[in-house]
Amino acid sequence: MNSRTTENYLKAVYRHSRANSSGNVSLGIIAGDLGVTPGTVTQMMKHLSGRDLVVYESRRGAALTDSGERAALDIIRRHRLIELFLVEVMGLDWADVHDEAEELEHVVSDRLIARMDEMLGHPARDPHGAPIPSASGVLKSGQTRRLAECETGTYRLIQVTKETSGFLEWLSEYKFFPGSIFDLHHIDSMGGTLSLGLSGQNKKIVMSIEAAGSLLVEEAG
Ligand SMILES: [Zn+2]
């Protein structure tokens, strides 16, 4: 059983290592993410490498070992199942579950997680559309693109990667959820905005290209 701090470090290394093809994450990035000093991160990396959860060199940064990756995927599975349980079973809004899950993921027993998974019918995705790793640690992320990098066309929203309540509430106002099909009508690269319309609705949505970087989509044309 890992401590809450260990679990948060493993999640942070996992999150950033996926953005880098070498799988190595600089300690400065982890420090910035977790709001701690680089010295604290170095200490923790020594501790985690002693437990065979990361490999770490001060110059190259840190990478997860197989057992570190397995532990990170387990905590991500817990987080995502808890979020879905809070929405589907307890009736909370999708904008309000991330912070709750950040707490609960460290304390809910394996038995309760298995029961939640069963009650939810072994779901593939959380309320924000993020894929849920299997109990054996397999994560199927599928083929998606960032909306910010798309050309005009018809798409389906698959996942919202930014889980702040303000952003999720804003999407809710337009009824723009994972599964929604929409047309990307216009890209104003000088003004830094995109305009799109949900299928079956007249309302136009204008969003910043930066916000569109948090939306993963697939073609639905
Ligand atoms: Zn979350």
Residue 112 falls within a domain, yes or no? no
Above 90 in pLDDT, residue 77?
yes
Domain C-terminal end among 64, 91, 114: 64
pLDDT at 43: 94
Distance 190 CA to ligand 1 centre (A): 33
Q: CB within 5 A of ion ligand 1: which residues?
A: 98, 163
Residue 54 in contact with residue 62, Cβ under 8 Å? yes
pLDDT band at residue 59, thresholds of 50, 70 and 90?
Answer: confident
Predicted structure pTM score = 0.92
Residue 11 falls within a domain, yes or no? yes
Residue 12 sits in a domain whose CATH number is: 1.10.10.10
Residue 100 falls within a domain, yes or no? no
The count of domains in the chain is: 2
Residue 81 falls within a domain, yes or no? no
Give the domain range for residue 60. 4-64
Domain C-terminal end among 13, 43, 64: 64
Distance 96 CA to ligand 1 centre (A): 9
Distance 152 CA to ligand 1 centre (A): 29
Above 80 in pLDDT, residue 21?
no
Distance 83 CA to ligand 1 centre (A): 7
Distance 206 CA to ligand 1 centre (A): 25
Distance 126 CA to ligand 1 centre (A): 8
Residue 149 sits in a domain whose CATH number is: 2.30.30.90
Residue 180 falls within a domain, yes or no? yes
Per cent of the chain over pLDDT 90 is 88
Distance 221 CA to ligand 1 centre (A): 30
Residue 118 falls within a domain, yes or no? no
pLDDT at 22: 76
Residue 162 falls within a domain, yes or no? yes
What confidence tens digit (pLDDT) does each residue in 181-207 have? 999 999 999 999 999 999 888 889 999
What confidence tens digit (pLDDT) does each residue in 99-122 have? 999 999 999 999 999 999 999 999
Residue 74 falls within a domain, yes or no? no
Residue 91 in contact with residue 61, Cβ under 8 Å? no
Above 80 in pLDDT, residue 132?
yes
- Longest CA–CA separation in the chain, Å: 58
pLDDT at 129: 97
